[in-house]
Amino acid sequence: MPGAVPGAVIELRGVSRTYRSGDVEVQALREVDLVIGPGEFVAIMGSSGSGKSTLMAILGCLDRPSRGEYRFESVDVARLEEPELARVRSARIGFVFQSFNLLARTSALDNVALPLFYASDGPVKGGSRTARALRALGQMGLAGREGNTPSQLSGGQQQRVAIARALINAPRLLLADEPTGNLDTRTSHEIMETLAALNRERGTTILVVTHEPDIAAYADRVLTMRDGRIVGDERREKARGEAAPPAAVAEAAPDAAPNETPDAAPARRRAGIAWAFGAMIVGAAVQALARNRLRSALTMLGVFIGVAALITMVAVGQGANQAIRKQIESLGTNLLVVLPGATTAGGARAGFGSASTITVDDARAILREDPAVSRIGYLIRAAGQVRYASQNWTTAIAGVSIDYPAMTNWRVAEGRPIGAQDERNGALVGLIGQTVRQQLFAPGEDPVGATILVKGTPIRVIGVLAGKGQTAFGTDQDDIVMLPFSTAEQRVLGTATPSRQDAPLNWAYPAWPNPYGLQLRLTGYVNQLFAQAVSPDAVAEAMEQISGTLSVRHRIQPNGLKDFSVRNLSQIAAAAQGSSRIMSLLLAIVASISLLVGGIGIMNILLVSVTERTREIGLRMAIGARRLHVLLQFLAESVFLSVTGGLGGIVLGVALSGGITLFAGWPAPVSLLAVAGGFLFSVAVGVAFGFYPARKAARLDPIEALRYE
């Protein structure tokens, strides 16, 4: 093949282009040879189907020849990869289209500045970009129309905007495909005069495709095509003066990289380009979404609701965990519960607690003999009626040991607690819960010092217990009257049992009858016995010691059936919290499903957007956008939608959690992990569901995209 022509802008040697549609081959170009020098004004004429548009697509690096060689400024562009072709289109070639191909709902200024986003040496910064676009519009006679959208401009003004856009990067070659096809005669000649002036004053090489001889008359050279071949090449004498030399282009062009200082370090320059590139991608994505505000808002609604639901559900689950933990803590820490054994009747066991097998003596023995146990508390409990004035109420009556309230985290809100002296003397005093107070006393009435009847026994109220609320099973813990154990055992509930003892009597109740004439002391049974281990690590050891002590005292054989049960509240708490965590996880999974639904909505809308914006994608590629630019822009749109929806969902989720706590009284603490997880999940949804539409957009063929209807 002959060598390259020195100084030629365009050089085609044996170029052919064949399209395949199934088994059918369509040969659009056939062995085309063409050389165009710098500063030429060339018109290409021919009937429809003659190959004019195909030739323009190849010259503009939007398509590749099937055979032959195409050199642009001595470079074989047919061998260049897609990124290099995009750089050529961005810096050296300008396109003017018959249908203008302006972005709707976008100002003339932004349309003209669009190629600067894809500048070959990095996106141009905002200030320089605006200044250059304003200058280009002014040169086209559109000063003052910068803010108008295409629908607010006439056809001629729209074409001038398209020309300004094509010239914004000072290209060496301007390709105009039927630039006057949609314009009236007067406007058509105005546009051609503008192109001719550019050719004269800047030395820009111009190729115009046209069907009209009067338009071709502006050119210095007219090529005629038929059946994919150039069948005519007519050169005309310039009537408007010689073209400016190629150097004039450089003189008229703005700075190639206005955002780069000549002495900038390479690393700093690369960082600046990367930053500008990222800003360009985000800016382009935001502009595209802003043109369809309502659709964008509805699209992000799925992610918005999903993140809000995730944060709220996790908050509710954590609130449930806190409630369970608080209820467990209300029973005390490091606690062991000893329950009496079970009765057996007719071969059927009634369950633990149905028999009275644990006594006060057992409690004293455990405290005395088991070093892993620090404190012992016990109680007897029965239901009974309490009365005050004209009010009466059936409640739980508990006789408690001195250490029981402190071990189980009962606090006295008003008055004083039960003291050791009250226990020793069997004093007729007691504490009432908040529910009993509400039922017996009028609002604002002070119950401390009042005397109530507990199962007919007068009891002076010495304190009011702080509220504990309900248990996980719905039992009201505040519906209670607490009495000293000795008082409840002997004077109210009547559960004391005398027994013969070898130890000397420390008799506290001389008025109590002694029909046997023996040394006696009270050995009453208890309903529950609470033992507190010396530390959390000693719980297991304390369980073993208590079990051994009671087995010896109750004369239980090693393999015999025990008449008691020792239970670890920590294990109960762990099981309850484990169940709560599972429920929280299920709630979070359910909430996450809505995030997935939102992601599918984003993917669906972006696929529709790719179809709607096919010509826009082709335009962006024609003015210098690489496939990576298109991919990242659509991906940025997806991520922007999901992240914006995620941030809104975080705000709503936090507000809903606070509202649940404030108005429902249910603890719903906001989890920072859930907030971070919701945000990251929204980002992941944007990337995962946006990648396929973005990839589909990036893989569009530029020339086919421009022809898409």
347-388 pLDDT per residue, tens: 444 444 445 788 899 999 999 999 999 999 999 999 999 999
Q: What is the mean pLDDT of residues 642-660?
A: 89
Using the structure block, give the residue that is written with the tokens 């762990």: 574
**Confidence band, pLDDT 50/70/90 cuts, at residue 263:** very low
pLDDT digits (tens, 9 = 90+) for 28-43: 899 999 999 999 999 9
Q: What is the mean pLDDT of residues 497-516?
A: 39
pLDDT digits (tens, 9 = 90+) for 610-641: 888 888 888 888 888 888 888 888 888 888 88
Three-state SS string over 533-556 comes to ECCHHHHHHHHHHHHHHHHHHCCC
Q: Has residue 505 got a pLDDT over 60? A: no
Query: Which region among 517-531, 621-635, 651-665 has the lowest average model confidence (pLDDT)?
Result: 517-531
Q: Has residue 511 got a pLDDT over 70? A: no
pLDDT of residue 270: 57
Q: What is the mean pLDDT of residues 160-187?
A: 87
DSSP designation for 209: E
The whole-angstrom separation of Cα 658 and Cα 662 is 6
CB-CB contact of 361 with 368 (8 Å): no
Burial degree of 605 (CB within 10 A; 0-12, 13-18, 19+) = buried
pLDDT of residue 515: 41
- Do β-strands 412-415 and 480-484 pair in parallel, antiparallel, or remain unpaired? unpaired
Q: How far is CA 182 from the centre of its chain?
A: 48
Report the range out of 236-240, 392-396, 565-569, 636-640 with the highest average pLDDT. Answer: 392-396
Q: Has residue 504 got a pLDDT over 70? A: no
Q: What is the mean pLDDT of residues 291-313?
A: 84
pLDDT digits (tens, 9 = 90+) for 186-214: 888 888 898 898 888 888 899 999 888 88
pLDDT of residue 513: 41
The whole-angstrom separation of Cα 397 and Cα 378 is 14
Query: Which region among 80-94, 248-262, 347-361, 626-640 has the lowest average model confidence (pLDDT)?
Result: 248-262
Q: How many residues does the chain have?
A: 709
CB-CB contact of 85 with 92 (8 Å): no
Instruction: Strand 75-76: give its sheet, edge to edge.
Output: 24-36, 10-21, 67-72, 75-76
The whole-angstrom separation of Cα 414 and Cα 437 is 12
Using the structure block, give the residue that is written with the tokens 């195409």: 70
Tell me if residue 685 falls in helix, strand or coil: helix
- Which whole-number Å values give the CA distances from 567 to 276, 325, 400, 539, 543, in the listed order? 66, 17, 20, 10, 8
The whole-angstrom separation of Cα 682 and Cα 138 is 44
pLDDT digits (tens, 9 = 90+) for 414-440: 999 999 999 999 999 999 999 999 999
The whole-angstrom separation of Cα 525 and Cα 489 is 9
Copy the structure tokens of residue 241. 């003066």
Residue 651, φ and ψ in degrees, nearest 5: -60, -45
**Confidence band, pLDDT 50/70/90 cuts, at residue 522:** very low
22 Cβ neighbours under 8 A, 6+ residues apart: none
Element (H, E) at 164: helix 155-167
∠ Cα 466 467 473 (to 5°): 145
Give the CA count within 13 Å in the CB-facing half-sphere of 135: 13
First to last CA, the chain: 40
Over pLDDT 90: what percentage of the chain? 26
The whole-angstrom separation of Cα 386 and Cα 436 is 9
Nearest Cα to 62, choosing from 708, 617, 695, 704? Answer: 704
Q: Has residue 6 got a pLDDT over 50? A: yes
pLDDT of residue 427: 93
Q: Provide the H-helix boundaries in 261-382.
A: 266-290, 293-330, 360-369
Report the range out of 109-118, 286-295, 587-596 with the highest average pLDDT. Answer: 109-118
Using the structure block, give the residue that is written with the tokens 């603890």: 667
Q: What is the mean pLDDT of residues 225-250?
A: 64
The whole-angstrom separation of Cα 145 and Cα 164 is 13
User: For residue 75, what are the β-bridge partners?
Assistant: 72
Q: Which domains does the chain have, with CATH numbers?
A: 10-236 (3.40.50.300), 276-323+574-707 (no CATH), 356-495+522-562 (no CATH)
The whole-angstrom separation of Cα 282 and Cα 285 is 5
pLDDT of residue 521: 42
Q: Has residue 258 got a pLDDT over 60? A: no
Element (H, E) at 29: strand 24-36
pLDDT of residue 508: 37
**Confidence band, pLDDT 50/70/90 cuts, at residue 331:** low
Q: Please tell me which residue, 678 or 12, carries the higher pLDDT value.
A: 12
CB-CB contact of 94 with 253 (8 Å): no
pLDDT of residue 89: 87
CB-CB contact of 53 with 45 (8 Å): no
pLDDT of residue 317: 77
pLDDT of residue 321: 72
Residue 549, φ and ψ in degrees, nearest 5: -60, -45
- Give the chain's count of helices (H) and strands (E): 21, 24
Q: Please tell me which residue, 143 or 570, carries the higher pLDDT value.
A: 143
